[in-house]
Structure 1
């Protein structure tokens, strides 16, 4: 009897822990895919990839962040200084960016070591 009760309690807490871990992970990092229509034709994004110069990637990420803020429900509190987001460039490469100054046209910086090249197409 005690074994069944223990097993039932263990199952319950397992699912609670799994739900909490998933929720924390899902909220952790915003991913913006620049292949979406609203980002695809931005002038600083169109030809950008992780091999581009850091200044070019910063400018493109700043444009992406500005569009994201403008279209969010809370434009003044979304992506504040110090927050990070992952950007997927049009070629499929990804990197994490950090907001340094939300009011600056170049207020986004790449996080060193976060760049991942696009996988070759088969």
Structure 2
């Protein structure tokens, strides 16, 4: 039986790319504000991507705080730099990045990631 010999670095490169791609995909948490635990929050109820940026940031911060509080490790969940895809009540969505977990405006919207319901 003949074995095909490849360069040792090629296998390492391929597996490294697989691990990096998986980590990037796993790093984004999706939160649907239509779920019962989120839809009654004061800043989230009727939010859409057409609302002003500061209002969306407040809503996303409130959603992130509730997600953090419900997790088993609230102080290490959603650290600064984490990314969340927030799906608003009308089905529109956007990515937000955590900047300061202790601030009421502790998230920043990622420009160009706002999607209408049909665009998802």
Q: Work out whether the TM-score is over 0.5.
A: yes
SS at match of 1:32: strand
Q: Provide structure 1 residue ranges, at least 5 long, that are not aligned to the other structure.
A: 7-12
Report the alpha carbon displacement of residue 80 of structure 1 after superposing the two structures with TM: 1.2
Q: CA-to-partner distance for each residue in 1:51-73, whole Å, 9 max, x for gaps?
A: 11101100100110000000001
Residue 9 of structure 1 is matched in structure 2 by: none
In structure 2, runs of 5+ residues without a counterpart are 5-10
After the TM superposition, which residues 17-96 of structure 1 pair with which residues of structure 2 at under 5 Å, given as runs? 20=19, 23-96=22-95
1:100 offset after TM fit, Å?
1.4
Where do 4+ consecutive residues of structure 1 move more than 6 Å?
Answer: none
> Following TM superposition, by how much is the alpha carbon of 1:96 offset from its aligned partner in structure 2, in angstroms?
0.4
CA distance, structure 1, for counterparts of residue 118 and residue 56 of structure 2: 19
TM-score (structure 2 length as normaliser): 0.80
Contact 2:84–2:95 under 8 Å retained in 1: yes
Partner Cα distance (1:27, 1:46) in 2: 27
Q: 3-state SS of the aligned residue for 2:118?
A: coil
Which moves more between the two structures, 67-76 or 82-91? 82-91
CA RMSD of the aligned region, Å?
2.3
The count of residues paired between Structure 1 and Structure 2 equals: 111
- CA drift of 1:35 comes to 1.1
Aligned to 2:8: none
